[in-house]
Every structure is written in C-alpha cells, then in structure tokens.
Amino acid sequence: MKKGSFKNEILEFLSGHSAAVVLLVLVFFGIIHFDTFLTRNNILNVLRQSSMLGVMSIGMTFVIITGGTDLSVGSVFALSGVIAAMFSSRNIFVGIALALFISALTGVINGVFISKCNVPPFVSTLCTMMALRGVVHIMTDERPMQLDKEAAKGFYNMGGAEFLGVPVLVWIFVVITILACLFLKYAKLGRNIYAVGGNMEAARMMGLNVDGTIIAAYTLSGILSGIGGLMMCARTGAAYPLAGNGWEMNAIAAVVLGGTAMSGGVGTAAGTIVGTLIMGCISNMINLEGSLGSSWQYIINGAALLLAVLLMQFQTIRKKYSDIETV
Amino acid sequence: MDDTKLLEIKGLTKQFPGVKALDNVDFTVKAGEVHALMGENGAGKSTLIKILTGIYEKDAGTMIFDGKKVNFQNAKQAQDAGISTIYQELNLIPQLSVAENLYLGRQPLTGGRVDWKKINSQAETFLNDLGICIDVKRKLNTFSTAIQQMVAIARGISLQAKLMIMDEPTSSLGDKEVEILFELIRKIKHKGVATVFVSHRLDEIFEICDTATILRDGKLVETVPVESLTKYDLITKMIGKDAGTVINRKNDRKNVGNKILLEVKDVSRGVKVRGIDLTIHEGEIVGLAGLLGSGRTEFVRALFAADKMESGIVSMEGKQILIRSPRMAVKKGIGFVSEDRKAEGIIPNLSVKENMTLTILPKVSRFSWINKRLEKEKVDLFFEKLRVKTSGYEQSIRNLSGGNQQKVILARWMATAPKLLIMDEPTRGIDVGAKAEIEQLIQEMAQAGISILLISSELEELIRNCDRIAVIRDGRKITELSGNNMTENEIFRVLSSAEENENTQKEVLG
Amino acid sequence: MKKKITVWQFVSQYGALCFLIALLAGNAVFTKNFISINIVWNLITQGFVTIVVSLGMMLVISSGGIDLSVGSVMPVAAMITAKNLDMGILPAIIMGLIAAILIGCFNGMIVAVFKIQPFIVTLAMYMAARGIAQLTNNSMVYNFTNETFNSLSRFRIAGKVPVQILIIPIFLIICFIIVKKSTIGRYIQAVGDNREASRLSGVNIVSTIIFTYGMCSALAGAAGIFEIARVGASDPNTLGLHVELDAIAAVVLGGTPMSGGKINLSGTVFAAIVMQLIVVTANMNNISAQIAYIVKAVVILVAVVIQRRESLKR
C-alpha cells in the first residue's frame, strides 16, 4: 500500500510542477549535448536574453491570471525605449520617469476599456498595440534612435554592467520576480487578481473592487513592459522601431508554459520564470547547434506551447473524473 | 427560539409582461427559525427571493428587515444588511483555498502583508466551531459540492448574516452530505440566525424546518408550522388545485399501439437518476410526474445522450442500441424539447426559419446546397399547422413571444418526423392560448404514430394528455398509473407514501 | 413584437458601409486627385489579401473562435506553391492549398476534439507555421520567374483593369454560397450563436469546426499564393506578417460579433475596404502610413465599444 501511494505522490508532484520538470529535462539535455552549455558565458547569455522577455512576461502573468490578455506589451516595450532615448541627452531621469508613466497610462487605458466599456481584452490591447506601434514608428522616423551614451552614461553602463558576476539586467529580472511573487501572495490586490480571474461575478458579490483590480493588472503589465523596454535601451544603446515586435506572443507562451491557464484564477510568477527560461534555453540550444537556424526556434516554441496546453487539459480532465473527496 | 420577527414582508406584488409572478404575498420569518419556502415552478419562490435580495424591483408591498424598512437595490446591499444567499452556482472562488474564500476582501494584515498564518488558523477555528473539520489550506474545488456549500454558508455567518437563504441546497447532495448540512443549519439556528430553506424535498422539510410557507401561482397558499402538517397535505397544497375535480381527458385516440418502441432498463446517472426502467409504445403518450428535482429532466437527458448515461440498457424496436450523442439520438428518430428554451432551445440571433430548419437541413438540401424553395415549403407547412405568429420568416427569433418561440422549436422537431419526442415542460412560460394549441398538437402527433415522453409539473396537464404516467421520486420510478388510476389524488398518495416507505427503509437498514 | 431600430443597431449592422461612404465622400472633397480610377484599382490590388483573409477569419469568428495563424499559413502555402511551379501551375497551387487546409484542419481538430481555446492553439500554430515556412528556403527569399503564374495577379484586362476585379468576386461568391446557401454556413453560425442548442439539435459540432478552420486556412493560403504571384518572389520572413490583425479588425468592424453568431458578409468586405482606404487616404494626403495605422486602431476600438453597448442592451 505504501509503495503505491509514494508513486502517486511523485506523479502528483510531477504533474503539478510539469514546467519545472520540462526545464530540468531541457537543461540536462543541454549539458549532455553541448560542451559549451554549462559555461559561465553561456549561462549568463541565456539569463541576459531571458531577462527582458522575463520582465514583460511577469507583467503578462498578472493579466492572464485575471483571465485576460495584453497584446500591447511589445509596443509599450518599444515606446518606453524610444522615450528614454529621446530624453537621454537632456535628462535621462525625466526620460525614464516619462517612459514609465506612459507605460502605466497605456495599462490604465486598457484596463478602463476592458472593465468599464466591456471591450474584450483581445480587442482593446490589440488596438493599443497598433496605436502605440504607429507612434513609435513616427517618433523614430523608422530608424533606430540612438541613446546619448555620454549624457546618460550611468544608464548605458548599467545595461552592460555586472554585479557580483551577474549582469545587472539579470538582477533586475530577479528582483522583479521576487517582488511579483511577494505581491501575488501577500498583497490584497494580488489576491484580488486571483479572485477576479477565478470567478468574476463571485468576486463582485464578495465586495471586491473588480474594475479596479483589472485596471491595476493591466497597469502593472504596462509598467513592467516599460521597464523591459528601458532595459533593452540600456543594453543596446539605442531604441529600435521594431523592438519588442511579436514579443507579446512570446510572453503569452512563456506564461502558459509556466503553468498559468488562460482561463484565469491560477498561476504563479515563479512558473512564468520557468516558462521564460524554457524558451530561453530552447533559443540558446538552437543557437549552439548552429546548423538549425531560428526557424526551428519558432517551430519548437509553437510545438512546446501546444504540448503544454494539451498536458494541462488532460490534467484538468483527469481531476474532474477522479474521486472528489467527501468528509 | 426567538419570537422576534426578523423579516416581515407584506403585500408583495411583482408583475412581468404576461404573468403576475407575485400577487399580494405576505412572508414573515422569525429570528432563529428555519423556514421552508415551497411551491412548484412558477409559484413565485425565486421571484420572492430575488426581490428580497435586490435583484428585482418590487411593484408593491413593504419589506421590514431587522426592524428597518428596506428596499435593496442590488445584491451587495442585501448582503451588507445581513442577508446571505447560497445559490446552486457557488459565489466563491473555486481556485482559492477554503480559508482564503472565507476572508477574501477582509484578510487580516500584519505589517501590511496578508497574514496567512492568521487566515488559516482563524479559518480552521471558525469552521471547527461550526462542526466542519477540513483542511482549510486546500483549494475549494478539491472538495465536494456539499463542503463547498458549507464554506459558502460559513462565509455568510462570518459576515454576521442574520438571515440565510438557501436555494435548493440539497439537490446535488447525497444523504450523508445532507446530514452534515443539517447539522450546520442547527448550529447556526442556535446562534439566532434564521434560515429560509427553499426546497421541495418533503422529508427534509419535515426534518429540519419549523415553519413552511407555500406559494402557488404567485399567491400565498398558507404559512403553517411544519409539525401540524402531513406530507399528503403538503403535496396537495403545492400542486393540487382541487383534488376532487374530474379532469377532462383529451386522449380519446384509438390507436395507442401495442408495439413497443423504446424499452430502457436501469438507467442511472450520478445521484439524480438511480435506476429507472421505462417502456414506451408506439403512438403512446407517457408522462413523468414528480416534484421538482426528482430527476426527470436528468433521466430524459440521459436517454437523449445530452448527458452521459452511466449505466442502463436501451432497446429500440427490439434491438439494443447505444446512443452516444444527441446527433445519434436524432438519427435514431428521437427528438428533445429542452425545458430551458432560452439557453438550450433557440438560436437567438438566427431567423425564425433558420431555427426551425436546423434539424432538417439535410432533408431540404442536396450536396449541402440548400433548396430554398423546399425549405420554405417545410416552414410554410409547419408554421401553418402550428399557427406560428411571426412577421416574416427572416425575423430574428428573439423577437417572438415565448409561445411562438416554443412553437418554432416544436416545428423544428416535428419536421424530423421522429419516432419519439421527448418534451420537458413544453408549456412553461407560455400564454394560455398557445398552451392549448400545443396540447392539441401533442395529441395529433400521437395520433400520427409518434410516441411522446412528456414531463410537466402541472398534474392536470399530464392527466389530460397522457395514456400512462410514471411517478418519479428521487431518481427512482415509484409506480406507473393508467386508466382510472390516473388521478391527482393517486399521484399525491403515491408521492407521499413513497416518502414513508423510504424513511421506514432507512430505519430498518440503519 | 415590433422591431425598433435604434441608431446603435443601425450602426452595428451597416456601420462599415456608412463609414466607407463617409470616408469616400470625405476623400472626394478633400483629397486632390481622389476621384480617379487608379484609386479603385489601387484599392483592389492592395486590399486583395486583406479581403480574402478576412473572409476566412469571418467564418472562424462566427463559429465562436479565432485564428491567429493565418499570417503564417500564407507563407507556407506560398512557399510550397513557389517551389513546385515547375510541376505545373495548377498542381503547385493545389499542393499549396492542401498544405494550408491540413494546417487548418489540425487547428480545428485541436479546438473541437481536445477543447483547447482557439486563441492558444492558433497562437502556437502562428509560431510553428512561420518556422516551417522559413525552413522551406532557409529563411531566404525565393525568387522565381513564371510569367503565366505571375499573370494571375498582374494581368490587366484591356491593359488597365486589374485582374483582381474578377478574382475577388469569385471569392465573394464562394463565401456567399457557404454563408447563405449551404448547410455548413448555417451550422457555423448556429454553433457560434448557441453551441449547446446546436448540439441538442443534432448538429455535428466537431466536423463543423474542423471545416471552419480548414476553410479559413484555405483562404489564407490562396491569398498567399496570389500575393507571391503579384510580387514575383516569396519571402517567408515577411509574407503575411500582421495580416491577422487587419483581418480580425475587418470582421469586428464589419459587424460579426466576436463572441460568435450571425455573419455579416457585406460588412466584413466593406470593413476590409475601409482598412485599405484608410491607408490609401493617408498615402494620398501625404500622411505617414503610421498615422493610418493608428487611425485604424482607433476606429476598431470605437466600433467595438459601440457594438458592446448595443449587445448589452439586448
């Protein structure tokens, strides 16, 4: 009897943490297959690449837990970098503040349209995505906008600097993730996000400020995408009109891979990190392989996403039909 | 038990277009009382509750709650005043833990942070106090419906509710779970909380309730102490008008076939359908009588494969068959008119014509190309026969009256020339004229050789139309009545004695 | 019950057409050289892809779903056709279309049988199909010369009229037949409007949905094939990029509800033309294309807000 329940426990743990398992398998595979996988250089590379998408994905996590989607994150990402670059020669701090302000404002606009005007999240964020991307193209005149590396020396250096051997960008990602985890677990607003996503009507009945929660979720998503854009600008020294293009899809994929269901009510920031790292590892390994090329990246990402949701679906079906405990 | 009146409603009236849902109803609940609110569908129970909790606006009458005159504008206001409602659809968050559900919106904070230790320990203490001993850290959806309901009740209590309204709380519960629920109700009664218990399960009413208010057709029949009633009394008050009148039978058809069309044995599904046998002959109209929640709808849905039949053997025209989906059922010649016209019947934004021909498109088309002329012919034929009133075939079905909508749905099924048509409350929410027409159509269909399986909560309707009536209670068929036995009295008798028999069984089996 | 038509109702039914007329009128007055036949030709040749893909998207949205992969299906079909032109134009086109249909049916199957949300399924396919398209030619542009094939999109009747003027109506007729004259069109709309009632009426939900997504991808594939015929080369990296946005916008603006249900065919077509007209208007008035893009976004948002207000009232 004991043996059986132990096996069950392991299966339970595995299926509940399938994303982490997948990541471990990937890493294991990477270590075996590539000599250079486990080198300091490579690991830092993966982390650095993942950090910007990761920050964006954390923001996306909040939105998806409420049961929505934020397609505007890529455009906010780009716009934020552009604003920072624009103000870099005068006062980088103003630039950063303005960039974050606009990012937050976008989130507020989305949140209001979605909660008060009843516009489906997909449509609202699609429109803000389009509008902001257009603004970015206009402001950059379709060319990369250079960061004034002299005037904004500190900002630019931060993009390449390391602290205790780890890139500052990665630290930012780590800190934000920790904050997000704490927020989701210990802040009333964080818990409200889960409630609204789990059963919106019930949340309303329980007296929660549903509209406010939704607006907050999208605002956070906007701010975090904005931070990501600043990170990109600091790292590359320029703001590109096509920055973040298509990243919204990657962010959604990272969140879903990490175990957050699009139906809402469940999910963790930690899971999203795992999802982001999975995508980062895949990207890295494809690069290391050399012969494959980025097309395989797309294919594998797509296939991984599909597998992940199919797995989650089977899990849900299994849970439904398993014995529900009675007291 | 306190004698203070917690809730006093006088002269409550509510009119909807075409029907008076509540007509001058008085309703009084004392503190600490468990008060049953009873009546069949359309009696006005849910309207009363919805007005009380602010979902509907009353037309006339006064409501005094806890000494103050009230007129709640929305559900939240009612909740804040101390009225907690437990519906079938849970107003909790299934993905969150039990403890969190209890304290959502008012979590104890320590240093600005949500204090999980406190939430979990307070929740555990609180629930233990009420007799619920569960792991409060587990997600709500890992527990059974019964436990989930109890957590909902517990939250209401923790919000200082003075009045608990429970809408059919036991309909998906097993016996053991019902007992746990009742223990909880007794506990809160002890604390002075009043409960309004909406139900039609007689044995439960007798077990847990102090007072019963019976509504019928929007009017107050009576408010009595439960102990002064017998089950027979209760049933007659709920569904009988005058048990003595003779009902004019409509079924003077001659060719009620002797050939068996459908034979089902031991059909079961969950707790709602517990092994029902039924035989239907060609051209026969079989009725299913029973109180609300007896499992009739679940039974016929399982027959039609709208829901999965967990066990049971189905034979059609002598051959055993397995119906795996509504599509297969339709292919075999079975049709199904659902009781929820709005959610499962009409395709709201499609036209009247498109709604009707949905089931027969292959018949009026060739290689998927719809023959508009043929289609129109069919629509002409059936709409005329059923006297459907519509301003045009392209009109959106949502603009039709309930009666006409139902006729379109009927036409949809009649056009398939089925062998068996299952009709679940086909005349509900329909004006008198249309009702009569539909009953006439039922007779005509049977005359033409179509078998009908008819569910209705109006006994007279069943007796008028059916050749045979099966009495269903709690998922089981108690008996069948036909001929001279088919009277309201007999049905009441069967229903109330069934309760007795089951209770005796319970005592014997322990 | 008498049907009262409010302003909102009218707008959501005929909004796209009204907008189109208003835009045309505005242009006629304010834009120099607007009333010239070239504008019409322009609209038709450049709006071709949007119109055709929107028709497919319209079917999917009507069934209650969405297809984000259309922009990646285009290059898949296009590349397969381009690389097999030497086998003959017709066989090459058929191969491309079959590939597209297979992708669509796969999408439909996952949605209908495994009951995964269409957004995620087609998002995954959006990524994977793009990769597959790129793989066919190592992410490089594939140039080809095949006069006959090119003429499919480049031919001008009497030297002036673009051949698309004949081709678009063909697609319109196909869709018209599907939506208005065929059984499957009814089933699609019924399933999108009330899935449960359709199920209980015996409609085959699975085959309906598979057909819908298959058809949508087929149309996207066809659009891709015509596009490379016009351009003379197939770029697997950029072909079809962002086309799903325009298509969804056209469907939503055109009056087909995002939640599924009654198809507004003419609305979709008018809205697709409006999308293109916005770009043309910007072009002709020396307004940057980016501003046109922004205007599109605003128009869509406003249209949906109006639509939602109307549907909430019912």
Instruction: Name which of A202, A324, A326 is nearest B93 (Cβ-Cβ).
Output: A202
State the nearest Cα–Cα gap between A166 and chain C, in angstroms.
31
Q: Residue A69: what pLDDT?
A: 94
State the nearest Cα–Cα gap between A317 and chain B, in angstroms.
13
State the nearest Cα–Cα gap between A316 and chain C, in angstroms.
11
Q: What residues have CB less than 8 Å from B317, skipping those under 6 apart?
A: B260, B261
Q: What is the DSSP string of B187-218?
A: HHHHTT-EEEEE---HHHHHHH-SEEEEEETT
Domains of chain A (ranges, CATH numbers): 20-321 (1.10.3470)
Does any CB of chain A come closer than 8 Å to the CB of residue B95? yes
State the nearest Cα–Cα gap between C204 and chain B, in angstroms.
7
Average pLDDT over residues C137-165: 85
Chains touching chain B at 3 or more Cβ pairs under 8 angstroms?
Answer: A, C
User: Where does a domain end: B204, B239, B274?
Assistant: B239
Q: Residue C146: what pLDDT?
A: 85
User: Under DSSP, is residue B312 helix (H, G, I), strand (E, B) or coil?
Assistant: strand
Asked whether residue B339 is assigned to any structural domain, the reply reads no
Answer positive or negative: Cα dihedral of A106, A109, A112, A117.
negative
Name the residue of chain B whose CA is nearest to C182's CA: B369
Q: What is the pLDDT of residues B141-182, one digit of tens each?
A: 888 877 888 898 889 888 888 999 998 888 777 777 788 889
Q: Residue C245: what pLDDT?
A: 85
Does any CB of chain B come closer than 8 Å to the CB of residue A321? no
User: Helix H segments across C63-116?
Assistant: 70-83, 89-113
User: Under DSSP, is residue A99 helix (H, G, I), strand (E, B) or coil?
Assistant: helix
Query: CB distance B93–A201 less than 8 Å?
Result: no
Asked whether residue B449 is assigned to any structural domain, the reply reads yes
Residues of C in contact with A245 (CB under 8 A): none
Q: Residue C181: what pLDDT?
A: 93
Q: Residue B503: what pLDDT?
A: 52
Q: How far is Cα A210 from Cα A198, in angstroms, rounded to an integer?
A: 12
Residues of C in contact with B327 (CB under 8 A): 202-204
Q: What is the pLDDT of residues A204-214, one digit of tens each?
A: 888 889 999 99
Q: What is the pLDDT of residues A109-139, one digit of tens each?
A: 999 999 999 898 988 999 999 999 999 999 9
Instruction: Name which of A127, A298, A300 is nearest C130 (Cβ-Cβ).
Output: A298
Q: Which amino acid is at C184?
A: I
Q: Residue A16: what pLDDT?
A: 67
Asked if residue A108 lies in contact with residue A204, where contact means CB atoms within 8 angstroms, the answer is no
Asked whether residue B338 is assigned to any structural domain, the reply reads no
Total domain count, chain B = 3
Instruction: Name which of B326, B370, B400 is nearest C183 (Cβ-Cβ).
Output: B370
CATH number at C32-313: 1.10.3470
Q: Residue B247: what pLDDT?
A: 58
The 3-state DSSP composition of chain B as helix, strand, coil percent (nearest 5) reads 40, 25, 35
Q: How far is Cα C294 from Cα C298, in angstroms, rounded to an integer?
A: 6
Q: Is A1 exposed, middle or buried (0-12, 13-18, 19+ CB in 10 A)?
A: exposed
Query: CB distance A302–C298 less than 8 Å?
Result: no
Instruction: State the residue range of the domain holding B383.
Output: 345-417
Asked whether residue B340 is assigned to any structural domain, the reply reads no
Judged by average pLDDT, the poorest of B98-102, B216-220, B454-458, C13-17 is C13-17
Instruction: Name which of A123, A299, A305 is nearest C258 (Cβ-Cβ).
Output: A123
Query: CB distance B177–A203 less than 8 Å?
Result: no
Kindly report the average pLDDT of chain B as a whole number. 86
pLDDT band at residue B489, thresholds of 50, 70 and 90? confident
For chain C, what are the domain ranges?
32-313
Answer positive or negative: Cα dihedral of B396, C180, C305, A213.
positive
Asked if residue B382 lies in contact with residue B409, where contact means CB atoms within 8 angstroms, the answer is no
Name the residue of chain C whose CA is nearest to B331's CA: C202
Q: What is the DSSP string of A10-55?
A: HHHHHHHTHHHHHHHHHHHHHHHH-TTTTSHHHHHHHHHHHHHHHH
Q: How far is Cα B281 from Cα B268, in angstroms, rounded to an integer?
A: 22
Average pLDDT over residues A190-196: 95
User: Under DSSP, is residue C294 helix (H, G, I), strand (E, B) or coil?
Assistant: helix
Does any CB of chain B come closer than 8 Å to the CB of residue A323? no
Residues of A in contact with C293 (CB under 8 A): 130-131, 133-134, 137
CATH number of the domain that B499 lies in? 3.40.50.300
Q: Residue B249: what pLDDT?
A: 63
Asked if residue B312 lies in contact with residue B270, where contact means CB atoms within 8 angstroms, the answer is no
Q: Residue A1: what pLDDT?
A: 44
Instruction: Name which of B107, B177, B180 is nearest A188 (Cβ-Cβ).
Output: B107
Residues of A in contact with C290 (CB under 8 A): 134-135, 137-138
Residues of B in contact with A198 (CB under 8 A): 93-96
pLDDT band at residue B239, thresholds of 50, 70 and 90? low
Q: What residues have CB less than 8 Å from B309, skipping those under 6 apart?
A: B267, B268, B269, B302, B303, B323
pLDDT of residue B251 exceeding 80: no
Q: How far is Cα C12 from Cα C6, in angstroms, rounded to an integer?
A: 10
Asked whether residue B26 is assigned to any structural domain, the reply reads yes
pLDDT of residue C49 exceeding 60: yes
Q: What is the pLDDT of residues B207-233, one digit of tens each?
A: 999 999 988 888 888 898 988 888 778
pTM, two decimals, is 0.86
Kindly report the average pLDDT of chain A as a whole number. 87
Asked if residue A256 lies in contact with residue A309, where contact means CB atoms within 8 angstroms, the answer is yes
Q: What is the pLDDT of residues B332-372, one digit of tens each?
A: 999 999 988 888 999 999 999 999 999 999 999 999 999 99
State the nearest Cα–Cα gap between A308 and chain B, in angstroms.
20
Residues of B in contact with A189 (CB under 8 A): none
Q: How far is Cα B85 from Cα B165, in angstroms, rounded to an integer?
A: 5
Using N-to-C axis directions, what is the helix angle for C289-313 and C265-284, rounded to 10°?
Answer: 150
Query: CB distance C130–A138 less than 8 Å?
Result: no
Query: CB distance A122–C308 less than 8 Å?
Result: no
pLDDT band at residue A310, thresholds of 50, 70 and 90? confident
Does any CB of chain A come closer than 8 Å to the CB of residue B453? no
Q: Residue B243: what pLDDT?
A: 43
Average pLDDT over residues A266-272: 92
Q: What residues have CB less than 8 Å from A170, skipping those under 6 apart?
A: A44, A47, A48, A51
The ipTM, to two decimals, is 0.86
Chains touching chain A at 3 or more Cβ pairs under 8 angstroms?
Answer: B, C
State the nearest Cα–Cα gap between A203 and chain C, in angstroms.
21
Percent pLDDT > 90 in chain C is: 51
Query: CB distance B113–A187 less than 8 Å?
Result: yes
Please identify which residue in the block is written with the tokens 């119109």. C51
State the nearest Cα–Cα gap between C216 and chain B, in angstroms.
18
With a CB-CB cutoff of 8 Å, which residues 74-103 of chain A face chain B?
none
pLDDT band at residue B508, thresholds of 50, 70 and 90? very low
Q: What is the pLDDT of residues B69-93, one digit of tens each?
A: 988 888 888 888 999 888 777 789 9
Asked if residue A247 lies in contact with residue A59, where contact means CB atoms within 8 angstroms, the answer is no
Do B291 and B256 belong together in one domain? Answer: yes
Q: What is the pLDDT of residues C225-255, one digit of tens each?
A: 999 999 889 999 899 988 988 899 899 888 8
pLDDT of residue A100 exceeding 70: yes
Percent pLDDT > 70 in chain B is: 92
Q: Residue C204: what pLDDT?
A: 95
User: Where does a domain end: B239, B274, B309?
Assistant: B239
